[in-house]
Amino acid sequence: MQVQEMPEIRVQRVGQSRINEVDWDNLIFGRHYSDHMFVADYRDGQWTDLRIVPYEKISVYPALIAFHYGQEIFEGLKAYRTVDGKVAIFRPDKNIKRMNNSARRMAMPEFPFDWFMEAMKKLVSIDKDWVPAGDDVALYIRPFMIATDEYVGVRPSDTYKLFIITSPVGPYYAKPLNVKVERKYVRAFPGGTGYAKAAGNYGGAMMPTALAKEEGFDQLLWTDGIHHEYIEESGTMNVFFIINGTVVTPPLTGTILPGVTRDSIITLCKDMGIPVEERQITVRELFEAYEKGILEDAFGSGTAVTIHHIVSITDILPNGERRTIELPSPEKREVSNKLKEVLEGIKRRKYPDRHGWLVYVD
Ligand code: COI
């Protein structure tokens, strides 16, 4: 790990803000980017030239390693406007650590924790007018790192760029989800990159997801690569089920993303005295619980989606037989609605932040 002192972050501000181009009453996920971005360069074994500059096009060579071999990682976290008008980032420490875990898996350099925190706080502070106030809105923060050597041989790059861009966002999905159990394609395999936020994990999921959409589903429920029976995650979300009063979610065995929202939900369940288990769940168990009438809820969690309900789960067996679980309508899901209210309330300081999850900007 680098023991270099943190260089000063140089700041170049925009001449003219684009903030008035945004329809603040209709924030669409990923449509607008705020005025500034953070950039740092890695060369000769160290990070250098830390800067906050206007958000703009970047110029790179076509032979960039990131383009050819997917040496690229990213993160997703959010800054919120609290009810008393402050700006706070939710659990950035978790995302910084996860980004550095992803970096190790992808043979990329880590970015020092304190520098990362400082860069994010400074960037959000400069663009704090872009942090929307309200229940379903936030400033999405997207750090990402690309391998920048101009070289088409297969080896880790010697140079990298780290960017942090931000985007005012509304809800990720417009409606509750109908998901299909995926029994053919695989998102991640033991020993692979499933736990890392590597760009290629998401690219590889696009074709199977598009096929499911053609069949009328909104997302896939990924299963393990060996048996296609153990539930892993869904789209961009970790998944939770409530079976006979117990909240159950698949364990972190290396093939699923260690979600920050996932961790927060588990913690809140413990705080609220709701039984919670991290354990393997099979498709068979879900259908058996449904038949017995004890499958009470299914929902996804993630920074982008927060807590999002699943309304149906369909499994199409290899012989073409099709079976579907229909879940209760979202407004009847007392436990997950309460978890969402508390989690979203903590982020905006409507509820006390007992775990010190908020990092204030300024
Ligand atoms: C997030 O929840 O931040 C994600 O990573 C989802 C993203 C791929 C849109």
CATH of residue 129: 3.30.470.10
Cβ neighbors of 268 (< 8 A, separation 6 or more) are 274, 339, 342, 343
Same domain assignment for residues 167 and 188: no
- Domain, as residue range, for 61: 10-171
Same domain assignment for residues 184 and 267: yes
Does 353 fall in a domain? no
CA torsion 186→191→197→203, rounded to 10°?
-30
Q: Are 289 and 295 in contact (CB under 8 A)?
A: yes
Does 48 fall in a domain? yes
Does 4 fall in a domain? no
* Strand-pair category, 10-11 with 46-54: parallel
Does 105 fall in a domain? yes
Q: Work out how many domains the chain is built from and give that number.
A: 2
Same domain assignment for residues 72 and 97: yes
CA atoms within 13 A on the CB side of 26: 2
pLDDT digits (tens, 9 = 90+) for 122-156: 999 999 999 999 999 999 999 999 999 999 999 99
* Best residue for ligand 1 mutational test, from 77, 141, 303, 305 (most atoms within 8 Å of Cβ): 303
Using the atom order of ligand 1, give the atom closest to the CA of residue 259.
Answer: 2
Distance 77 CA to ligand 1 centre (A): 8
Q: Indicate which residue's Cα is closest to atom 8 of ligand 1.
A: 236
Query: For the chain, which ranges sit under pLDDT 50?
Result: none
Q: Indicate which residue's Cα is closest to atom 9 of ligand 1.
A: 304
Q: Round to whole Å and give the CA distance between 123 and 53.
A: 9
List ligand 1's pocket residues with C-beta within 6 A: 76, 202, 236, 302-304
Does 358 fall in a domain? no
Same domain assignment for residues 182 and 167: no
* Best residue for ligand 1 mutational test, from 236, 256, 257, 263 (most atoms within 8 Å of Cβ): 236
Same domain assignment for residues 66 and 27: yes
Same domain assignment for residues 34 and 154: yes
CATH assignment at residue 237: 3.20.10.10
Q: Looking at residue 3, what is its pLDDT?
A: 67
Distance 237 CA to ligand 1 centre (A): 8
Same domain assignment for residues 286 and 234: yes
Q: Looking at residue 318, what is its pLDDT?
A: 84
Distance 132 CA to ligand 1 centre (A): 19
Does 65 fall in a domain? yes
Same domain assignment for residues 150 and 182: no
Q: Round to whole Å and give the CA distance between 180 and 184.
A: 11
Q: Round to whole Å and give the CA distance between 340 and 93.
A: 21
Q: Indicate which residue's Cα is closest to atom 3 of ligand 1.
A: 76
Considering 132, 154, 171, which residue would you say is the last residue of a domain?
Answer: 171
Which residue do the tokens 């270099």 mark? 4
Considering 145, 171, 197, which residue would you say is the last residue of a domain?
Answer: 171
Considering 171, 203, 218, which residue would you say is the last residue of a domain?
Answer: 171
Using the atom order of ligand 1, give the atom closest to the CA of residue 237.
Answer: 2
Using the atom order of ligand 1, give the atom closest to the CA of residue 302.
Answer: 2
Burial class of residue 203 in the structure, from the number of CB atoms within 10 Å of its CB (0-12 exposed, 13-18 middle, 19+ buried): exposed
